Structure 1
Amino acid sequence: MSRFPFAPPPALRPENIQARFRSALHEPRTAVVLGRWLGAAFLVCFLTGLISHGLQDPPGWLRNHLPSRPVDGYRITQGLHVITGIACIPLLAAKLWTVYPKLFTWPPARSVLQALERLGIALLLGSAVLLLFTGLLNTLQWYPWPFPFRQTHFWLAWIAIGGLLLHIAAKAPVIQENWRRVRVPVVDGRRAFLTGVLLSVAAVTVVTAGQSVPWLRRFDLLAPRRPDLGPQGLPVNRTAVAAGTAQTSGADWRLTVTGPRGYTLTLDELAALPQYTAQLPIACVEGWSASAHWTGVRVRDLLDRAGAPESARLRVVSLEQGGPYRTTEMESSYAHDPLTLLALRVNGEVLAADHGFPARIIAPNRPGVLQTKWVSRLEVLA
């Protein structure tokens, strides 16, 4: 008799479940190997996600310490974030296939330890599936849900980490026993199955990573974006039409710089100032990135002319009509970096409307959403 007030339905009775799950690969060693791979990919994805979140929305204690170097820093970390996130999909599927018979054991928990293990599994599985699902749709720029993606993605990641730590703690004896191959018996098909999983991960990576890894671009078959397609050879996330800036005229445009000695410049006056060229990447949260040669005026020169102190932060205001990034803030480490430009040209051509004409911000190691386009105002912040 069951100690529970009700018995499981026939399909969930232990003897019937075991009869249905006959593969020898539903065993601890295979689960531990897959868990190691999945844990490593998830850890890289989690840490690079924290970097992205910190650069986009830094807490107060971090704001004055954001690094503008290496130049390709955000390109690398966000590329790794999306690559490992996509790699987690086949790894998680294989891991779930290996352990899913355990999900149907009855009763669900026979001890406090097992109850904690089940809680960890519920937190880890639910949050991980949501993370990968919403993250994959984010690479496609498709948001069919009512909640804000970035904030929800951030907190789901912390829930998943908590569930993972709880799961590891509950399963520590099993993990230790099956960590090394010499301690467990050989199971027919295990090596072939694990090799198949690795080949699946490699295939998924090769056909999607080209959006951020230039030397894999020729294999870029399933990636959501091609970094070399778009106006002036660069992709565009938000067009001038969508931003309401398509009719902006260079003759009527003015740049206002506030500060102790604020001033206003026409486009011709801005173009007459010393111009600098820097090769910098545009790297976006969706995982794609592309390098270009940008030409314009150094932001630090504009701030010096306005009498801004070296420690001053900057608020950048766009002509964009609405949108969460119409106004952005730039920390002093970026504002005074000699590579940070108010760009007027890209790859030798005047900026296209979709790339921010008349002027846009381009800075090293900075998320693409903060590389403000259609700039009209620079405000010095104390």
Structure 2
Amino acid sequence: MDSKPPGAPRRLDRRLDRPLPAPPAFLRRGPFREGAFTSALHEPRTAVVLGRWLGAALLLCFVAGLTSHLLQDPPHWPTGWLPSRPVNGYRVTQGLHVISGIAAIPLAGAKLWTVYPRLFEWPPARSVLHALERLGIAVLVASVLLELTTGLLNTLQWYPWPFPFRQTHFWLAWPAVGGLLIHLAVKAPLIARHWRGRRQAQLTGRRGFLLSVGAAVGVVTLATAGQSVPWLRPLNLLAPRRPGDGPDGLPVNRTAAQAGTVTVPPDWKLLVDGPRPYRLSLAELRELPQHDAELPIACVEGWSVSARWAGVRMVDLLARAGAPAGSAVRVTSLEAAGPYRVMEMPAPYAEDPLTLLALRVDGTELTADHGFPARIIAPNRPGVLQTKWVTRIEVLG
């Protein structure tokens, strides 16, 4: 976005090499009146500095979010190649996605304030090319603002719109990033002229303004990142989730009551369905060799917390069922309904020795909200795929 404020009514258009008409008399008021914008900070150097920061935040948010999306909802062809390590992979990528998205909010506000006088230049379009450029900017601004707004509300688990959040958020990211790259290409000469400030005049107030924006970004980042970054938890004042709060000291997104699984059938048994299917009661599961692992629960809203889980290794359950090497599995929950009631786990996760059918967490039996009698816990997986209230594990081959 070019941040040069509207000039005099009869300025010269360098593209058309002819004077531009002044706005009609009825528009010469409010933001269209001459001299409406008095701040000297509506200028290219300030816009370029803010654009650098905002562009970096948006691109980091996009790359981290795309990685997290592929781990949560991959297309069919790469599912067998998704890695189960590093253990904290999803925790890091989704944490970075939310942190950079929140940091981009004050940056976007400051950037738009710097350039918004351009909205009121006259005429609105000087040529077809200029009209297309302004249309592209409108698409860029609208998609970025919608992405940031819906993403922020998702961290609060508040969805005041009729469309599905996750799918819309994913597809809207593409025009946002595409529009950003096109905008950078169109404005490359202007950006190059103002990239370095050594030869730029030291505008009064610019340094203070940029420091204020940087401070705002730092405050909102430090005050919310603690839901993802353990060593920032003492500063976690504005985040909607505080790791450590919830049943057994772990947050939950969906309680047993919300899932319709308040009570477990007294005759509950786990069905492991494969070439040699079998059933196990909870007492029989407890008698099998128990293993423990330090693994995180990491959710799409950006919060994550580690815990020590104990239970039966998935690979041992599959071996007893006669599952061939490289088998994926399908896990079904007692949950009455919900988009993740049935979950498929690719072979790299099913065969990882850290993947457990967990019966205990941090030394105590699972509560109903954490998936009693048994739940899945696996490395590098989104929280929604760590299925609770498991009733069936099916070998897919």
RMSD: 1.7
2:251 matched to 1:200?
no
| Cα distance in 2 between the residues matched to 1:267 and 1:41 | 48
Residues 313 and 381, structure 1, Cα contact 8 Å, conserved in 2: yes
Output aligned runs, 1:215-364, within 5 Å: 215-249=231-265, 251-364=266-379
| Cα distance in 2 between the residues matched to 1:96 and 1:14 | 15
| Cα distance in 2 between the residues matched to 1:72 and 1:221 | 24
Residues 32 and 120, structure 2, Cα contact 8 Å, conserved in 1: no
2:387 matched to 1:379?
no
One-letter code of the match for 2:186? A
SS at 2:292 equivalent = strand
Residues 271 and 392, structure 2, Cα contact 8 Å, conserved in 1: yes
| Cα distance in 2 between the residues matched to 1:193 and 1:8 | 35
SS at 1:147 equivalent = coil
One-letter code of the match for 2:86? P
Residues 113 and 170, structure 1, Cα contact 8 Å, conserved in 2: no
Aligned-pair distance for 1:3?
Answer: 8.0
Aligned-pair distance for 1:170?
Answer: 1.5
Aligned-pair distance for 1:112?
Answer: 3.8
| Cα distance in 2 between the residues matched to 1:226 and 1:248 | 29
Q: Alpha carbons of 1:321 and 1:11: their partners in 2 closer, same or farther (altered >3 Å)?
A: farther
Q: Which runs of 5+ in 2 are unaligned?
A: 1-9, 11-18
| Cα distance in 2 between the residues matched to 1:339 and 1:319 | 23
One-letter code of the match for 1:226? R
Deviations 1:247-298 (A, max 9, x none): 114x411100111111111111111111000000000000000000000000
- Of 228, 248, 252 in structure 2, the residue corresponding to residue 212 of structure 1 is 228
One-letter code of the match for 1:230? G
Deviations 1:128-151 (A, max 9, x none): 111111111100001111110000
The match for 1:33 is 49
**Further displaced range: 164-173 or 224-233:** 164-173
Residues 75 and 289, structure 1, Cα contact 8 Å, conserved in 2: yes
| Cα distance in 1 between the residues matched to 2:113 and 2:270 | 59
Q: Alpha carbons of 1:328 and 1:9: their partners in 2 closer, same or farther (altered >3 Å)?
A: farther
One-letter code of the match for 2:287? A
One-letter code of the match for 1:358? P
SS at 1:271 equivalent = helix
| Cα distance in 2 between the residues matched to 1:7 and 1:310 | 76
| Cα distance in 2 between the residues matched to 1:13 and 1:199 | 32
Aligned-pair distance for 1:7?
Answer: 4.3
Aligned-pair distance for 1:107?
Answer: 1.5
One-letter code of the match for 1:274? P
Aligned-pair distance for 1:196?
Answer: 0.6
Q: Alpha carbons of 1:227 and 1:3: their partners in 2 closer, same or farther (altered >3 Å)?
A: same
Alignment identity in percent?
68
| Cα distance in 2 between the residues matched to 1:30 and 1:336 | 53
The match for 1:178 is 194
2:179 matched to 1:163?
yes
SS at 1:182 equivalent = coil
Deviations 1:89-109 (A, max 9, x none): 100000000000011111122
Residues 114 and 170, structure 1, Cα contact 8 Å, conserved in 2: no
| Cα distance in 1 between the residues matched to 2:95 and 2:245 | 18
SS at 1:20 equivalent = coil
| Cα distance in 2 between the residues matched to 1:117 and 1:26 | 20
2:139 matched to 1:123?
yes
| Cα distance in 2 between the residues matched to 1:117 and 1:33 | 21
Aligned-pair distance for 1:12?
Answer: 6.5
| Cα distance in 1 between the residues matched to 2:30 and 2:231 | 53
One-letter code of the match for 1:342? L
| Cα distance in 1 between the residues matched to 2:144 and 2:189 | 24
Residues 12 and 106, structure 1, Cα contact 8 Å, conserved in 2: no
Deviations 1:172-220 (A, max 9, x none): 1111111111242221111111011000000001111111111111111
Residues 314 and 379, structure 1, Cα contact 8 Å, conserved in 2: yes
| Cα distance in 2 between the residues matched to 1:258 and 1:371 | 19
Residues 335 and 341, structure 2, Cα contact 8 Å, conserved in 1: yes
Deviations 1:35-86 (A, max 9, x none): 0000000011001110111011111222111111111111111111111111
SS at 1:181 equivalent = coil
SS at 1:202 equivalent = helix
One-letter code of the match for 1:278? A
- Of 114, 120, 124 in structure 2, the residue corresponding to residue 104 of structure 1 is 120
2:183 matched to 1:154?
no
| Cα distance in 2 between the residues matched to 1:138 and 1:88 | 16
**Further displaced range: 180-189 or 326-335:** 180-189
The match for 1:10 is 27
Number of matched residues?
A: 379
